[in-house]
């Protein structure tokens, strides 16, 4: 369980994290989604007590991270690939970290096995690929068999097999009742891996909720209609709250009307339909529309932003 | 790297596992030994120091030969033996400055520091454990070097009556002064390295304080001349060089002044380590 209250971080004039509140529940994979520079890494460093919040607080399993007697048993973290002395071997790096908690060599061998690093465990980390560095980071995170995992961009730099491995791993860890909090700027990856998502942009939480809710609520559903009498149909559909766009002949994209209503109306006019498809947005599109709203909101300098049905629906 | 391992739910993590200073010290010791440069640095500093003593011993035997000096030979004096045996400290300290600074700046350069501080989030035990490791390593290096230097130079100096008299109190103090001085210098370097968090900057700063400031102290200005004996290297060296003419501090007073510099550097490092983002 991770809970942030009014968490804020400023670097001089620049606000990296702007008064955010969120909680990350156990037993689920929670994605922390946002473009680069949105404040994801800063937030994660504050969770681990590496960066001091300018104001507000964040607790892990009920206490600030630094106040735990055995922090590695509470939270395992992957903060950046290869936060390791390049002259050290993977095995010695893990041994040194384990030693801080009096964790023995047996557990070190276990996490090496778990992350598939057996063959390279005695090699110097300086020669590791990014992918091996990520595996080593995850091995370090697992040392204390922690209740909570904080993983910053865990799939960054991994090959497809590695991506699949991380996905399987985090799903499994959450199924054991652990709290898993992972960040990414890859929306497609989040759609597959995460149960819940917290979307951050410019240091602010834009929205949060389950992946499905975010996709459903952040885009107004539209319907693709194909008809030989498209122009005539468009005339008939034109009314308040309905937007019709057309990118090719005989095809309309209708927003603001249910597919059933369009079909009924076409039937009463005797217009033949060759296709009637409700379009569902991808998480990626949802994300783009959400962050676009956030950018607009900022540039209009707080002066009564135009009511945006998308944003209202999300909040 | 090919197997997609399935996580094992049975983890060998004792429920009593927790952070303590002893655990942190063990961790720092593992890190110290697992970096390849450690062995090199320690070996090189011993080699350099013993090598310099040998060169000096050879030079001294020439100086006692009237044919070589072309006049008055150097009088037979055991204090020459002390000087010869301890001669390497001034060059050996440069290697230990590197060791002290890099023990922490290397972690900032590689990102290791974030792993270290996440494991021990109270932070100060990490610095304290590093200090213990650095102090122990530099003291042992100094002790081994001075012992070896005495051992190999005695047969060369003995025939000339210049060998160290180990029963002499001044000789004992000077010989023990080498490891004590080097330990303090390495700790001072650790403190500066922790404050600057940068290898090249840290080494330059410490070398500047140890070797460049004393030169400025020679400028004929009263204020500079008053400060000069209290600079870290000048004060600490009193333990090794013994009572020369015109000294302000006694050997042990001088060493206490050096320890005060060490304390200031480490306290500064501790305050900044607690306050700054990692």
Q: Quote the DSSP letter at residue A233.
A: H
**How does DSSP assign A55-105, residue by residue?**
EEEEEETTB-GGG-SSHHHHEEEE-STT-S-TTSBHHHHHHHHHHTTT--H
Q: Is the pLDDT of residue B64 over 90?
A: no
Q: Look at A182-186, A228-232, A277-281 and tell me which has the smallest mean pLDDT.
A: A277-281
Q: Quote the DSSP letter at residue B8.
A: P
**Could you give the domains of chain A?**
2-216 (3.40.50.300), 220-279 (3.30.70)
**How does DSSP assign B43-80, residue by residue?**
HHHHHHHHHHHHHHHHHHHHHT-HHHHTSPPPPP-HHH
Q: Is the pLDDT of residue B7 over 80?
A: no
Residues 34-53 on B with a CB inside 8 Å of A are 34-37
Instruction: State whether residue B152 is helix, strand or coil.
Output: helix
Q: What is the pLDDT of residue B1?
A: 41
Q: Does B172 reside within a domain?
A: yes
**Helices marked H in B64-168 — which ranges?**
66-69, 78-86, 89-110, 112-119, 124-157
Minimal CA–CA distance to A60: which of A22, A15, A32? A22
Tens-digit pLDDT profile for residues B102-113: 999 999 999 999
Nearest chain A Cα distance for residue B25, angstroms: 8
Sorting pLDDT into bands at 50, 70 and 90, what band is B3?
very low
Q: Which residues of B touch A165 (CB under 8 A)?
A: 4-5
Q: Which tops the pLDDT comparison, B217 or B143?
A: B143
Element at A208 (helix H, strand E): strand A204-210
Tens-digit pLDDT profile for residues A124-167: 998 998 888 989 999 999 999 999 999 999 988 788 888 998 99
Torsion of CA B159, B164, B167, B169, to 10 degrees: 150
Sorting pLDDT into bands at 50, 70 and 90, what band is B222?
confident
Minimum-distance CB partner of B30 among A71, A96, A113:
A96
Q: Looking at residues A78-85, what average pLDDT do you find?
A: 81
Under 8 Å CB-to-CB from B75, ≥6 apart: which residues?
A: none
Task: Please state, as a whole number, how many other Cβ atoms lie within 10 Å of the Cβ of residue B123.
Answer: 20
Instruction: State whether residue A194 is helix, strand or coil.
Output: coil
Q: What is the pLDDT of residue A309?
A: 41
Minimal CA–CA distance to A144: which of B153, B118, B36, B161? B118
Q: Look at A36-40, A219-223, A243-247 and tell me which has the smallest mean pLDDT.
A: A219-223
Q: Looking at residues B62-84, what average pLDDT do you find?
A: 74
Q: What is the pLDDT of residue A312?
A: 37
Tens-digit pLDDT profile for residues A229-273: 988 898 888 887 788 888 788 898 888 888 888 899 899 999 999
**Average per-residue pLDDT in chain A?**
86
Nearest chain A Cα distance for residue B94, angstroms: 22
Q: Looking at residues B140-169, what average pLDDT do you find?
A: 92
Count contacts between A and B (CB, < 8 Å).
158
Tens-digit pLDDT profile for residues B236-263: 999 998 766 567 899 999 999 999 999 9
Element at B206 (helix H, strand E): helix B199-207
Q: Does B43 reside within a domain?
A: yes
Chain position carrying tokens 């975010």 = A214
Tens-digit pLDDT profile for residues B27-37: 999 999 998 88
Q: Does B8 reside within a domain?
A: no
B260 touches chain A (CB under 8 A): no
Sorting pLDDT into bands at 50, 70 and 90, what band is A292?
low
The span from the CA of A68 to the CA of A71, in Å, is 5
Tens-digit pLDDT profile for residues A40-62: 999 999 999 999 999 999 999 99
Q: Are A205 and A198 in contact (CB under 8 A)?
A: yes
Q: Are B37 and B137 in contact (CB under 8 A)?
A: no
The span from the CA of B90 to the CA of B93, in Å, is 6
Cβ–Cβ gap A101/B4 under 8 Å: no
The span from the CA of B275 to the CA of B269, in Å, is 10
Biggest CA-to-CA distance, chain A? 79
Q: Is the pLDDT of residue B135 over 50?
A: yes
ipTM for the whole complex: 0.89
Q: Does B9 reside within a domain?
A: no
Tens-digit pLDDT profile for residues A103-123: 999 999 999 999 999 999 999
The span from the CA of A94 to the CA of A106, in Å, is 11
Under 8 Å CB-to-CB from B105, ≥6 apart: which residues?
A: B193, B194, B196, B197, B198, B199, B202
Sorting pLDDT into bands at 50, 70 and 90, what band is B68?
low
Cβ–Cβ gap A48/B118 under 8 Å: yes
Q: Looking at residues A222-230, what average pLDDT do you find?
A: 89
Q: Does B4 reside within a domain?
A: no
Roughly what angle, to the nearest 10 degrees, separates helices B36-63 and B89-110? 170
Task: Please state, as a whole number, how many other Cβ atoms lie within 10 Å of the Cβ of residue B56.
Answer: 20
Q: Quote the DSSP letter at residue A201.
A: E
Q: Are A253 and A244 in contact (CB under 8 A)?
A: yes
Element at A243 (helix H, strand E): strand A243-248
A105 touches chain B (CB under 8 A): no
Q: Which residues of B touch A97 (CB under 8 A)?
A: 27, 115, 119
Q: Does B259 reside within a domain?
A: yes
Nearest CA in chain A to B109: A85
Instruction: State whether residue B163 is helix, strand or coil.
Output: coil
Sheet holding A251-255, edge to edge: A243-248, A251-255, A222-226, A275-279
Task: Please state, as a whole number, how many other Cβ atoms lie within 10 Å of the Cβ of residue A306.
Answer: 8
Q: Looking at residues B158-181, what average pLDDT do you find?
A: 91
- Give burial (CB, 10 Å; 0-12/13-18/19+) of B66: exposed
Minimal CA–CA distance to A227: which of A248, A243, A241, A255? A248
B119 touches chain A (CB under 8 A): yes
Residue numbers of the domain that contains B120: 21-275
Cβ–Cβ gap B119/A72 under 8 Å: yes
Q: What is the pLDDT of residue A315?
A: 36
* First-residue to last-residue Cα distance in chain B: 32
Q: What is the pLDDT of residue A282?
A: 66
Q: Is the pLDDT of residue B5 over 60?
A: no
Q: Is the pLDDT of residue A297 over 60?
A: no
Task: Please state, as a whole number, how many other Cβ atoms lie within 10 Å of the Cβ of residue A1.
Answer: 14
* First-residue to last-residue Cα distance in chain A: 23
Q: Is the pLDDT of residue A215 over 60?
A: yes
Interface test with B, best of A100, A103, A158 (most B CBs within 10 A): A100
Cβ–Cβ gap A101/B23 under 8 Å: yes
Minimal CA–CA distance to B99: which of B136, B47, B126, B134? B134
Sorting pLDDT into bands at 50, 70 and 90, what band is A274?
very high
Q: Does B13 reside within a domain?
A: no
Q: Is the pLDDT of residue A35 over 50?
A: yes
- B56-62 contacts at long range (C-beta below 8 A, 24 or more positions apart): B56/B83, B56/B84, B56/B87, B56/B153, B57/B84, B57/B152, B57/B153, B57/B156, B57/B157, B58/B156, B60/B84, B60/B157, B60/B160, B60/B162, B61/B156, B61/B157, B61/B160
Burial code (b: 16+ CB inside 10 Å, e: under 16) for B86-122 equals bbbbbebbbbbbbbbbbbbbbbbbbbbbbbbbbbbbe
Minimum-distance CB partner of A102 among B11, B17, B37:
B17
Q: Are A261 and A268 in contact (CB under 8 A)?
A: no
Give the total number of structural domains in chain B: 1
């Amino acid at each position: 369980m991770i809970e942030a209250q009014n968490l804020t971080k400023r670097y001089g004039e620049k606000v990296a994290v702007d008064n955010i509140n969120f909680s990350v529940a156990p037993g689920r994979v929670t994605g922390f989604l946002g473009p680069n520079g949105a404040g994801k890494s800063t937030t994660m460093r504050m969770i681990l007590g590496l960066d001091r919040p300018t104001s507000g607080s964040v607790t892990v399993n009920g206490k600030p991270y630094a106040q735990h007697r055995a922090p590695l048993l509470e939270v395992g973290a992957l903060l950046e690939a290869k936060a390791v002395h390049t002259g050290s071997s993977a095995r010695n790096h893990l041994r040194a970290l384990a030693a801080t908690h009096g964790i023995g060599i047996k557990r070190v061998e276990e996490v090496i096995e778990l992350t598939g690093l057996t063959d390279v465990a005695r090699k110097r980390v300086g020669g590791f690929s990014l992918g091996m560095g990520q595996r080593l980071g995850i091995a370090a995170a697992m040392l204390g068999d922690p209740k909570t995992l904080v993983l910053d961009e865990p799939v960054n730099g991994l090959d497809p097999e590695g991506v699949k491995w991380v996905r399987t791993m985090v799903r499994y860890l959450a199924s054991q009742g652990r709290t898993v909090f992972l960040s990414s700027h890859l929306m497609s990856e989040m759609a597959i891996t995460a149960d819940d998502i917290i979307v951050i942009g410019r240091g602010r939480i834009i929205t949060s909720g389950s992946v499905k809710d975010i996709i459903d609520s952040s885009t107004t559903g539209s319907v693709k209609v194909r008809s030989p009498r498209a122009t005539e149909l468009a005339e008939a559909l034109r009314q308040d709250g309905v937007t019709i766009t057309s990118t090719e002949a005989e095809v309309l994209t209708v927003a603001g009307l249910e597919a059933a209503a369009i079909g009924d109306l076409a039937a009463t006019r005797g217009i033949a339909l060759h296709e009637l498809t409700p379009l569902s947005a991808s998480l990626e599109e949802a994300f783009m529309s959400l962050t676009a709203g956030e950018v607009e909101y900022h540039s209009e300098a707080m002066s009564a932003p135009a009511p945006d049905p998308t944003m209202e629906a999300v909040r | 790297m090919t197997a997609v391992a399935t996580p094992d739910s049975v983890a060998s993590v004792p429920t009593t596992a927790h952070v303590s200073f002893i655990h942190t010290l063990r961790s720092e010791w593992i890190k110290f030994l697992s970096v390849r440069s450690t062995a090199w640095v320690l070996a090189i500093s011993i080699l350099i120091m013993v090598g310099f003593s040998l060169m000096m011993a050879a030079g001294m035997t020439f100086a006692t030969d009237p044919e070589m000096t072309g006049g008055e030979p150097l009088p037979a004096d055991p204090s020459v033996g002390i000087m010869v045996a301890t001669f390497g400290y001034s060059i050996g300290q440069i290697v230990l400055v590197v060791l002290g600074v890099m023990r922490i700046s290397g972690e900032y350069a590689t990102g290791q520091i974030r792993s270290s501080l996440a494991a021990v989030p109270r932070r100060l035990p990490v610095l304290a454990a590093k200090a213990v490791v650095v102090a122990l390593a530099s003291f042992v290096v100094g002790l081994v070097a001075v012992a070896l230097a005495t051992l190999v130079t005695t047969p060369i100096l003995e025939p000339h009556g210049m060998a160290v008299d180990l029963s002499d109190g001044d000789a004992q103090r000077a010989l023990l002064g080498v490891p004590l001085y080097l330990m303090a210098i390495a700790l001072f370097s650790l403190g500066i390295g922790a404050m600057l968090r940068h290898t090249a900057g840290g080494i330059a700063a410490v070398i500047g304080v140890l070797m460049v400031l004393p030169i400025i102290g020679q400028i004929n200005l009263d204020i500079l001349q008053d400060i000069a004996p209290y600079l870290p290297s000048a004060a600490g060296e009193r333990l090794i060089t013994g009572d020369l003419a015109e000294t302000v501090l006694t050997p042990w007073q001088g060493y206490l002044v050096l320890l005060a510099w060490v304390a200031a550097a480490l306290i500064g490092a501790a305050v900044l380590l607690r306050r700054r983002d990692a």
